[in-house]
Amino acid sequence: MESSIWLVYAIVTTLFWGVWGAFIEAPEKRGFPATLGYVVWSLTMIPCAIVALALVGWELETDLRSVLLGCTAGLLGAAGQLVLFQTLRKGPAYLVFPVVALSPVVSVALSVLLLGETASARAWAGIVLALVAIPLLAYQPPDRSSPVKGYLWLAMAIGVMFAWGLQAIVLRFANQTMSSEGIFFYMMATGVALAPFAVLMTDFKQDINWGPSGPWLAAGIQILNSVGALMMVYAFRYGKVIIVSPMINALAPVITIVLSLLLYRVIPNKVVTAGMVLAAAAFYLLS
């Protein structure tokens, strides 16, 4: 944390993911399934990985430790996303997303226990506000047409929460001995490797939009996610997990909500509005 460069990378990630979140549903509303959107996302990781490796002279760590850490980070993120698709088939979004949104709690706890990270009193105040804000921002009104189906959805949602929370710790460990570019390469490789599972999860009996407003629109949107993921790796390299994780996860949804308000005139409810206020205060304290 000796330099503020971590903040630059964290802000870029937040901006890109915030814009990505505002437009992510556009292809699906036009007939391009979210599972195929995952496939497109994994492919957009490839050019980002190529550019990143080119910047460091195509040097890539190939020792066993590096491969395992890089692939583990990638699997935790990508597999978590695939499990989330299945979770939403078994449980309502208004219950699933607030659970998954608590992943920074896992990151913060593990960063203290495993990494020995500490923070100032001001930063701790920001962390607490961010952790409270995140589930509020993920809140969705109950959908009566999507009843709860048992408790399997809860176990799966908790699994995603822990996977994404643990990913931040793995990235921090990997950054100690690997280049950020190498880490991202293995994240890309595992993301692409899981793409066939997303294809298998797709219902091809429905009409799928293969036109410009389908996969090509998805590619234009998903590239924001991929670039944001690369910047996230850099943010964890130079910054503390205990601060970067809650900051990114609290502020990105705020940008998504503000853009949605401007573009789609979606007025946030009182719960989400409270989350936005807390997230803004958290960002001020953390930065």
Q: What is the pLDDT of residues 33-58, one digit of tens each?
A: 999 999 999 999 999 999 999 999 99
Region 57-63 average pLDDT: 93
Report the pLDDT value the prediction gives residue 50, as an integer from 0 to 100: 96
pLDDT at 137: 87
The whole-angstrom separation of Cα 108 and Cα 131 is 9
pLDDT at 62 (0 to 100): 93
Provide the pLDDT for residue 109: 92
- The two tokens of residue 194 are 């899981």
Neighbours of 55 (CB within 10 A): 10
CA distance 84 to 180: 26
Place 144 in a pLDDT band, splitting at 50, 70 and 90. Answer: low
Is the pLDDT at 3 greater than 60? The verdict is yes
* Spatial CA neighbour of 194 closest among 42, 27, 40: 42
Instruction: Round the average pLDDT of the chain to a whole number and report it.
Output: 90
214 φ/ψ angles, rounded to the nearest 5 degrees: -105, -100
Q: What is the number of domains present in the chain?
A: 1
The whole-number pLDDT of residue 158 equals: 92
Radius of gyration of the chain (CA): 18
As given in the structure block, the two tokens for residue 12 are 């870029």
Q: Is the pLDDT of residue 150 over 80?
A: no
Confidence of residue 287 (pLDDT cuts 50, 70, 90): confident
Report the phi/psi class of residue 142: left, alpha or beta, with left for phi > 0 and alpha for psi in -120 to 50: beta
| H-only helix segments in 207-240 | 217-238
Of 27, 50, 30, 29, whose CA–CA distance to 39 is shortest? 27
From the list 9, 11, 14, the residue with the least C-alpha distance to 252 is 14
**pLDDT recorded at residue 95:** 79
pLDDT confidence band for 147 (50 / 70 / 90)? low
Contact 187, 74 (CB under 8 A): yes
The predicted model scores a pTM of 0.89
pLDDT at 196 over 90: yes
Domain boundaries, position 143: 5-286
> 167 Cβ partners below 8 Å, 6+ apart?
73, 76, 77, 80
The arithmetic mean of pLDDT across residues 158-174, rounded, is 94
Contact 199, 264 (CB under 8 A): no
Could you give the percent of the chain with pLDDT greater than 90? 64
Phi, psi of 52 (to 5 degrees): -60, -45
Measured CA to CA, the distance from residue 9 to residue 239 in angstroms comes to 9
Report in angstroms the alpha-carbon separations of 225 from 41, 66, 82, 235, 238. Answer: 8, 24, 15, 15, 20
Q: Say yes or no to pLDDT of 1 above 50.
A: no
Which among 251, 13, 254, 250 has a CA at the least distance from the CA of 132? Answer: 250
Helix H segments across the chain? 5-23, 26-29, 34-55, 64-90, 93-100, 103-113, 121-137, 152-177, 180-193, 195-200, 217-238, 241-264, 270-286
pLDDT category of residue 63 using cuts at 50, 70 and 90? very high
pLDDT, tens digit (0-9, with 9 covering 90-100), for 212-240: 999 999 999 999 999 999 999 999 999 99
